[in-house]
C-alpha cells in the first residue's frame, strides 16, 4: 500500500519553513525520508523507527506518530539547496521500501 | 566507502529488444533492490536480491528478471521491451534486517522507441 504524501508541491522563499506529511493506511514500523534532485539519485535523509526518537540533523527533522500512522518532515529556515523532490518510504510485506509519489519543494531566493 | 554505481547511464532501445542494466553495490551491503521511476513519480519496486536469491518482487511481469553475484553486484534484464518501459531504473543497496537507509545509484535512463 503506497503511502500518501502531502502537499504534492510547495514553493518557499529562502528562510521559510515547510512541513511535508506522509501517511499510511497500514501500521507503520518505520519511515524513510529521501530527497532527489533533478537528474540525480535519491539521497537518504533519515529513518524513523517505531518507538524511536525524533530524528534530525541541522535544520531538517522528522517525527513519527504511530497512532496516526503518519510521519512529518520539517524543514526549518529553508536554503536553496533544499530544493528537490522529497519521498517517504514505508516497509512492504517483502521487506522492500514502498515510496510515496513525492513532494516537490522549490526554494526561491 | 564506495557508493553504488550503475551502467550505462543512458540507453536507447527499440521495442521488442532486450536490455541488461548493471549495478555495483556499496561495499558491505548484502541486498540489492531495483526500482523503476517514471517521470514525476516515486520509485516503483521491481525486485530485491539477497544472497543471490530473489526474495521479494513487485508488480512487474516475468520479462523483468535479475541476478545477484557473489560480490553483491547485480543485473536487471528486461525482455521484449515495450514503450512503457521507458523510465529511470534505480539500483539501491542496503543491509537486510538493519534499520539503515538505502544507498541509490544514479540510475540508468532507458528510452524505448
Q: Can you tell me the distance from the alpha carbon of A64 to that of A10, in angstroms, rounded to the nearest whole number?
A: 21
Instruction: Please list, in sequence order, all residues whose beta carbon lies within 8 angstroms of the beta carbon of residue A58, skipping any fewer than 6 positions away.
Output: none
**Chain B residue numbers touching A41 (CB-CB < 8 A):** 4, 90, 104-107
* Residue B111 predicted with pLDDT over 60: yes
A100 contacts B42? CB cut-off 8 A:
yes
Chain B residues in contact with A97 by the CB 8 A cut-off are 33, 45, 92, 102
Percent of chain B having pLDDT more than 70?
A: 98
Residues B65-88: pLDDT tens digits?
999 998 889 999 999 999 999 999
Q: How far is Cα B75 from Cα B29, in angstroms, rounded to an integer?
A: 16
Inter-chain residue contact B56 with A101, CB threshold 8 Å: no
pLDDT at B101: 87
From A32, A46, A101, residue closest to B41, measured CB to CB: A101
* CA distance linking residue B57 with residue B45, whole number of Å: 7
Q: Read off the pLDDT of residues A88-104 as tens digits, 9 standing for 90 and up.
A: 999 888 888 999 999 99
| pLDDT tens string A5-59 | 999 999 999 999 999 999 998 888 889 999 999 989 999 999 988 776 656 666 8
Amino acid at each position: 500500500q503506497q503511502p500518501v504524501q502531502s502537499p504534492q508541491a510547495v514553493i518557499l522563499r529562502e528562510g521559510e519553513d515547510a512541513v511535508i506529511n506522509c501517511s499510511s493506511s497500514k501500521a507503520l514500523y518505520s519511515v524513510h525520508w529521501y530527497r532527489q534532485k533533478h537528474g540525480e539519485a535519491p539521497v537518504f535523509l533519515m529513518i524513523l523507527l517505531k518507538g524511536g526518537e525524533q530524528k534530525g540533523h541541522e535544520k531538517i527533522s522528522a517525527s513519527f506518530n504511530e497512532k496516526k500512522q503518519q510521519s512529518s518532515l520539517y524543514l526549518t529556515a529553508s536554503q536553496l539547496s533544499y530544493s528537490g523532490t522529497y519521498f517517504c518510504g514505508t516497509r512492504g510485506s517483502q521487506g522492500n521500501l514502498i515510496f510515496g509519489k513525492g513532494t516537490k519543494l522549490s526554494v526561491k531566493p | 566507502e564506495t557508493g553504488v554505481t550503475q551502467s550505462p547511464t543512458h540507453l536507447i532501445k527499440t521495442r521488442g529488444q532486450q536490455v541488461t542494466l548493471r549495478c555495483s553495490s556499496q561495499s558491505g551491503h548484502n541486498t540489492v533492490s531495483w526500482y523503476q521511476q517514471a517521470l514525476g513519480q516515486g520509485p516503483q519496486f521491481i525486485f530485491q536480491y539477497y544472497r543471490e536469491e530473489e526474495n521479494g518482487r513487485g508488480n512487474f511481469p516475468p520479462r523483468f528478471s535479475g541476478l545477484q553475484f557473489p560480490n553483491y553486484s547485480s543485473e536487471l534484464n528486461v525482455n521484449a521491451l515495450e514503450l512503457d518501459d521507458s523510465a529511470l531504473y534505480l539500483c539501491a543497496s542496503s543491509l537486510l534486517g538493519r534499520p539503515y537507509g538505502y544507498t541509490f545509484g544514479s540510475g540508468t535512463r532507458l528510452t524505448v522507441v
